[in-house]
A and B are shown apart, each in its own frame.
Chain A
Amino acid sequence: MAYTERQNPAFYAVIALLVFMSVGPVILMFANSFKLDVDIISGTGGLLFLPTIQNYEKALCDVLWYEPNHVDFCSLKFGGAFINSLIIALISTVLTLVIGCMAAYALVRFRFMGRDTVSLSTLMVRMVPPAVLLVPVFGLWNNEFCLDRDGLIGGAIRDVFGGRGDVCLAGTHSGIILIYVAMNLPFVIWILQSFIVQVPRSLEEAARVDGAGPFQVFFKVVLPLIKPGLAAAAIFTFRIAWNEYLLASALSDRNTKTVPILIVNNMSEFNVEWGVIMATGMLLAIPPIIFTLLASRQIITGMTAGAVKG
């Protein structure tokens, strides 16, 4: 059956179509990032053009050591946004994993009232689209979760850094990290649960008999065994946090905006700088690729092979 399917030309046609659909836009973006805007919108759409790195020069103008001739004023702060993106994506990934693995372990191994309800409802949180969260989160982050300007800490922050008064979550790295953690946690808990269930209970019992306390059992036995799960969850969380646009656009300010927001800033009522958008898009794609390659090396199937007799 499988053999005949492989022989069928339609099968290859479908495969080719799927490959084209997924790789096509990337190729298009890659090609366009080396074109001048004129070439991009000229409508010829051909592959014949004179490649230029002008777009990249413009996108990276604040980190380049020289000043490109064609850039009059460096309005794009790619370097800053890139660092913001890194800080937000990495910290939210680490936090999500730390909290997620502990929560998942508790949900799998401990018996407590409402365990099943908690397990289910965490996943239900995931079903709420970010757009629905946007307005309430924006309000809360701007008006509720603030350190009062008359208070001790808020006052101190204002005195040191200046600012309008109240120090609120909105516009800070912490504010964005917090909402990303909340958004990704349910999925991470859910995915790690399925990994923890597979850790044989007798391993934990053996560790307990060997003299390990609850935390040692968790950190020395369980955690190393669910490394593939942690890696998968890390890739997932990092990429969501890296690519997220909607919430970040509402919650970040000038100094904390991330790369996706920066890209959109290339559109104005006068001009859409397609070339720069494409170049920034290419640059944006690099860190997740590196991160995925690094993390996926941890995904080795059959980690628990040999633990117990199957």
Chain B
Amino acid sequence: MPHIRLDKLIKRYGNVEVLHGIELEMADNEFTVLVGPSGCGKSTTLRMIAGLEDVSEGEIYIDDKPVKHLEPKDRDIAMVFQDYALYPHMNVARNMSFALRLQKRPKAEIDKKVRDVAATLGLSDYLDRKPGELSGGQRQRVAMGRALTRDAATFLFDEPLSNLDAKLRGQMRAELALMSQRVQKNMIYVTHDQIEAMTLADRIVVMHGGVIQQQGAPKELFERPINKFVAGFLGMPPMNFLDGQIVERDGDVFVVGDGFDLRLDGPKAAAARAHSSKDVTLGVRPSDLRYDADAPADGSLSLDVLVSEYVGAQSVLLCQCGPAKVMVELGSDTPVALGQTLTFAVNAGGIHLFDHKTEVAL
């Protein structure tokens, strides 16, 4: 499978630079997810790989061959669009076979290919229908089928699930994961939904403001975010951030703020001690807080419970900690009353520290 490399990719619209030198290398058969908030440049990056947007500066290499000036059709890619982009005047079979018909492949081969792909996607009964007669989920499947029929080397997905309802999205996500295992091709997937990113990706690329913030395996990014943005973007409910200061007492290092006084240990303490500035932001994931009435004060937060959101097996508590709001995720069987002040122990390794100014992780 081709090896795709982006070299200092820059995109400008007029005088406005929206992508600031994207460098990215994708391994063979890797499922790469570009994720970030709206306007971070992830779709633009994908469209540049597809050849639908001009590259202002930099180069895209596919198998070490520069492709910046190639037409989309010469890049051996297939793409699934956010709005499906099915040809409304063709039925499902003709939609799926459009690319093959353009290549003037023999009819028998085209028919076989379309039938095979339709069977794997559960579309066999709909081959004669027009897109207008299909439901959203079916259209999505046809869009995917059209890409699959192509046998292209690389698949590009531009937020393919964002138009589906929540339940269907979950289903399609699972089917996508299955499909990517089966076809073993390069996949580049753009989404703003961090859950899709976490569940599908071999490698997540978090983008923000036209710059790659961090890339790596989902677990790596979740556990060791390199800055406050990545930490806050991945994970649901999002990470809690509290302003604090590094304080040294009796040889130990503490992070102290309004409503908490946590002792740091091991490498965290060393990093905090070595850090020049004493103003930091403490980050704690809602799932790293555990209800424990007997927890020691230097390893726990005391929080006033404001709101409890019941979501089934789990509940999310919104609590007050000094001036800040803190979210806690815990089992629904935990006895909690609103207005109480409760003690939550912080899991070992659950403490993240970021420089207050630069927002870079310590």
Chain A residues in the interface with B (C-beta under 8 A): 200, 202-203, 205-213, 216, 220-221, 224-225, 227, 302-309
Contacts and interface: CB of A to CB of B under 8 A. Distances in A.
B87 A307 contact: yes
Given A202-B81, A205-B52, A205-B81, A225 B89 contact: yes
Nearest to A203: B85
Contacts, number: 89
A203 B51 CA distance: 15
A213 B72 CA distance: 10
A225 B136 contact: no
A209 B50 contact: yes
B133 interface: yes
A309 B131 contact: no
Nearest to B83: A308
A206 B88 contact: no
A206 B139 contact: no
A210 B150 contact: yes
A221 to B, nearest CB: 6
A185 B338 CA distance: 73
Nearest to A223: B89
Interface string B58-89: 00000000000001110001110111111111
Contacts of B88: 225, 303-307
Interface residues of B, number: 32
Contacts of B168: none
Given A202-B85, A211-B99, A303-B88, A309 B136 contact: yes
A306 B139 CA distance: 8
Given A206-B81, A208-B71, A309 B99 contact: no
Across the A-B interface, the 7 shortest Cβ-Cβ residue pairs: A306-B132, A308-B83, A306-B131, A210-B99, A211-B73, A206-B85, A202-B85
25 contacts: A200-B83, A203-B85, A206-B81, A206-B85, A206-B87, A208-B72, A209-B52, A209-B77, A209-B79, A210-B73, A210-B78, A210-B150, A211-B73, A212-B98, A303-B89, A305-B132, A306-B88, A306-B130, A306-B132, A307-B83, A307-B131, A308-B81, A308-B84, A308-B86, A309-B84
B236 interface: no
B83 A224 contact: no
A209 to B, nearest CB: 5
A136 B134 CA distance: 57
Contacts of A202: 81-83, 85
Nearest to A224: B89
From A207, A209, A220, A302, name the one whose CB has the most chain B CB atoms within 10 angstroms.
A209
Contacts of B130: 306
Contacts of B192: none
Interface string B128-149: 0011111010010000001000
Given A224-B89, A307-B85, A207 B98 contact: yes
Contacts of B139: 306, 309
Contacts of B52: 205, 208-209
B85 A200 contact: yes
B131 to A, nearest CB: 4
Query: Which among A221, A227, A302, A308 has the highest number of chain B CB atoms within 10 Å?
Result: A308
B166 interface: no
Contacts of A207: 87, 98
B51 to A, nearest CB: 8
Contact of A206 (B71, B79, B102, B133): B79
B181 interface: no
B85 A308 contact: yes
B341 interface: no
A112 B269 CA distance: 62
A303 B139 CA distance: 16
A306 B86 CA distance: 7
B163 A309 contact: yes
Contacts of A307: 83-88, 131
A309 to B, nearest CB: 4
A302 B132 CA distance: 9
B140 to A, nearest CB: 9
B100 to A, nearest CB: 9
A194 B316 CA distance: 51
B276 interface: no
Interface in B125-184: 130-134, 136, 139, 146, 150, 163
Given A203-B87, A305-B132, A210 B98 contact: yes
